[in-house]
């Protein structure tokens, strides 16, 4: 057998242990994992001594903006951030301007992402005011439906039981998960940080979760809870886990940062759901790795301009970039012994693939898509100014981390090598990512 590329003599994780192997790639796929000396002939070889060879991250929750918000991010800068962060597949949220409520908007996003992509890009759609107006022609090109009860994409919608049941029915008929942001609508605008935190409280998160779980009984649809931020919500999910149709994600910032770490003078750490207490963070990390209440990690990469983030807290935009911090921050947990390799590979790679229903991704083994990141164990500091994302303000600024993604391979093509881009946009990666 002759192959296109051999990643030679790197460290891979096999049965939870580090072993030295070579990984062969042929025609977009992993052709096999080989002992040293038994690698097949290859057109090209990369010396991976001193590097980890890992499956690329699958980030099921990102906002790549573009369309009318390309000052915040576009598909080129966003997927460059992904590749540089070791993320080989992203799924783009529908709360763009305009939102994904029609086939036309989805097609515009796909067309732009196709020409600007550096990684695989999948999409979610929202649900119009009348659920029966949902354009089912979007279904083959989306990986899920996403709803925001606190800030509906379709104006004038209220998330009462009828509406939520309609959403579940659509998800069921389309055989896609229903994803939701667990929060409730505010009665009025907050006038202080305390009011902001009270509106977007853990109680509101729990109430929203219960509302969705109670409305779920009628249909066999899957529910995915986005960015769980409170210990109580994780506990409530665990109690309902008997249902295989319930999944959940957590972000690195909700696990590893706490509200009290920041002054809140400006919007640097402003995000929805808000950062919580160190206790919540610890419980969330525990729910991910010990209790299995939460299935996976997602960044909720939510870029805004510096001006929008540097405004006084109440006026500032919520969200910050995450594509270039997830891998370094989470692998640091592995290198410092707080997370096992098996958990890392599950929560960052294989579980996101199974939530999306894309069985060919998320594992470093023969027959899987060749979406791979090479990582060096190295101490460095996160600096927003070095991001490829247009958004440079991060609450992880200055944090010491122990892992650096140095090269990224997408669909068997080397995209990012020795910390630089070696091909142009639009040449590799699937857009849209589809279920088989």
Q: State the residue for tokens 């080397």.
A: 414
Residue 318 binding target from ligand DOR, Zn ion, none, CB below 5 to 8 Å by type = ligand DOR
Q: Which is nearer to ligand DOR, 20 or 314 (CB)?
A: 314
Write out the binding residues for Zn ion, residues 147-176 only, by CB under 5 A. none
Indicate the residue among 21 and 181 with the shorter CB distance to Zn ion: 181
DSSP state of 260: G
Is residue 272 at the binding interface for ligand DOR, with CB under 6 A as the rule? Answer: yes
Asked whether the beta carbons of 387 and 324 are under 8 A apart, the reply is: yes
For β-strands 420-421 and 372-381, DSSP reports them as: unpaired
- CB-neighbour burial class of residue 114 (10 A; exposed 0-12, middle 13-18, buried 19+): middle
Number of H helices, E strands in the chain: 12, 17
Nearer to ligand DOR, 3 or 153 (CB): 153
Strand ranges inside 228-383, DSSP E: 246-250, 296-297, 372-381
Q: Provide the mask over 281-320, with x wherever binding to Zn ion is found by CB under 5 A and - wherever it is not.
A: -------------------x--------------------
Residue 318 engages ligand DOR in binding (rule: CB under 6 A) = yes
User: Which listed option, Zn ion, ligand DOR, none, makes contact with residue 216 (CB within 5 to 8 Å by class)?
Assistant: none
Spatial separation of the C-alpha atoms in residues 343 and 349, rounded to whole Å: 10
Contact between 254 and 280 (Cβ < 8 Å):
yes
Looking at 92, 300, 369, 371, which residue is catalytic?
Answer: 300
* # residues near ligand DOR by CB under 6 A: 8
Crossing angle for the helix pair 231-239 and 278-286, nearest 10 degrees?
Answer: 30
Given 319, 322, 352, 429, the residue binding ligand DOR (CB under 6 A)? 319
Which 289-308 residues touch ligand DOR, going by CB under 6 A? 302
Q: Which of 29, 63, 117, 388 binds ligand DOR (CB under 6 A)?
A: 63
Query: In this structure, are strands 413-417 and 400-410 parallel, antiparallel, or unpaired?
Result: antiparallel
CA distances 116 to 77, 95, 111, 436, Å, are 8, 20, 9, 24
Tell me whether residue 63 or residue 112 sits nearer to ligand DOR (CB atom): 63
65 or 181: CB nearest Zn ion = 181
Residue 200 as a binder of ligand DOR (CB under 6 A): the answer is: no
CB nearer ligand DOR, residue 209 or residue 403: 209
Out of 26, 181, 222, 283, point to the residue binding Zn ion (CB under 5 A).
Answer: 181
Q: Could you tell me if 209 and 215 are in contact, meaning their C-beta atoms sit under 8 angstroms apart?
A: no
Nearest to 126 by CA among 156, 150, 96: 96
Binding test (CB under 6 A) with ligand DOR, winner from 100, 271, 288, 353: 271
Catalytic (active site) residue 300: yes
CA nearest neighbour of 149 among 197, 190, 95: 95
The residues annotated as belonging to the active site are 300
Give the residues lining the site for Zn ion (CB under 5 A): 181, 300
Give the residues lining the site for ligand DOR (CB under 6 A): 63, 95, 181, 271-272, 302, 318-319
């Amino acid at each position: 057998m002759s192959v296109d590329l051999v990643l030679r003599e790197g460290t891979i994780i096999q049965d939870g242990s580090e072993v030295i192997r070579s990984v062969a790639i042929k025609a977009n796929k992993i052709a096999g994992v080989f002992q040293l000396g038994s690698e097949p002939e290859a057109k090209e070889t990369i010396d991976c001594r001193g590097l980890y060879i890992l499956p690329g991250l699958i980030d099921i929750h990102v906002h790549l903006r573009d369309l009318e918000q390309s000052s915040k991010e576009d598909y080129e800068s966003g997927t460059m951030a992904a590749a540089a962060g070791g993320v080989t597949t992203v799924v783009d949220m529908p709360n763009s301007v305009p939102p994904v409520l029609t086939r036309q908007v989805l097609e515009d996003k796909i067309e732009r992402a196709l020409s600007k992509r550096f990684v695989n890009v999948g999409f979610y759609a929202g649900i119009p005011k009348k659920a029966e107006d949902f354009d089912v022609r979007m279904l083959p090109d989306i990986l899920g439906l996403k709803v925001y009860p606190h800030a509906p994409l379709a104006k004038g919608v209220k998330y009462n039981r009828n509406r939520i049941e309609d959403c579940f029915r659509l998800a069921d008929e389309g055989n896609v998960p229903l994803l939701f942001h667990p929060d409730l609508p505010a009665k009025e605008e907050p006038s202080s940080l305390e009011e902001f935190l009270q509106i977007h409280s853990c109680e509101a998160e729990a109430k929203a979760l219960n509302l969705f779980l109670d409305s779920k009984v009628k249909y066999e649809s899957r529910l995915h809870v986005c960015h769980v931020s409170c210990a109580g919500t994780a506990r409530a999910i665990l109690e309902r886990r008997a249902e295989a149709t319930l999944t959940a994600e957590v972000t690195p910032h909700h696990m590893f940062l706490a509200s009290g770490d920041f002054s809140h003078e400006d919007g640097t750490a402003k995000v929805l759901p808000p950062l919580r207490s160190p206790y919540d963070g610890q419980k969330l990390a525990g729910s991910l790795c010990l209790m299995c209440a939460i299935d996976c990690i997602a960044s909720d990469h939510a870029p805004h301009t510096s001006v929008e983030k540097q405004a006084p807290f109440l006026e500032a935009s919520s969200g910050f970039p995450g594509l270039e911090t997830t891998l370094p921050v989470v692998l640091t947990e592995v290198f410092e012994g707080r997370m096992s390799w098996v958990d890392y590979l599950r929560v960052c790679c294989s579980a996101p693939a199974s939530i999306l229903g894309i069985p060919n991704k998320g594992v470093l083994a023969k027959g899987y898509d060749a979406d791979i990141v090479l990582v060096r164990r190295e101490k460095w500091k996160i600096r927003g100014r070095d991001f490829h994302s247009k958004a440079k303000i991060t609450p992880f600024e200055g944090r010491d981390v122990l892992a650096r993604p140095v090269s990224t391979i997408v669909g068997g093509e080397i995209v990012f090598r020795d910390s630089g881009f070696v091909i142009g946009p639009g040449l590799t990666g699937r857009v849209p990512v589809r279920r088989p």
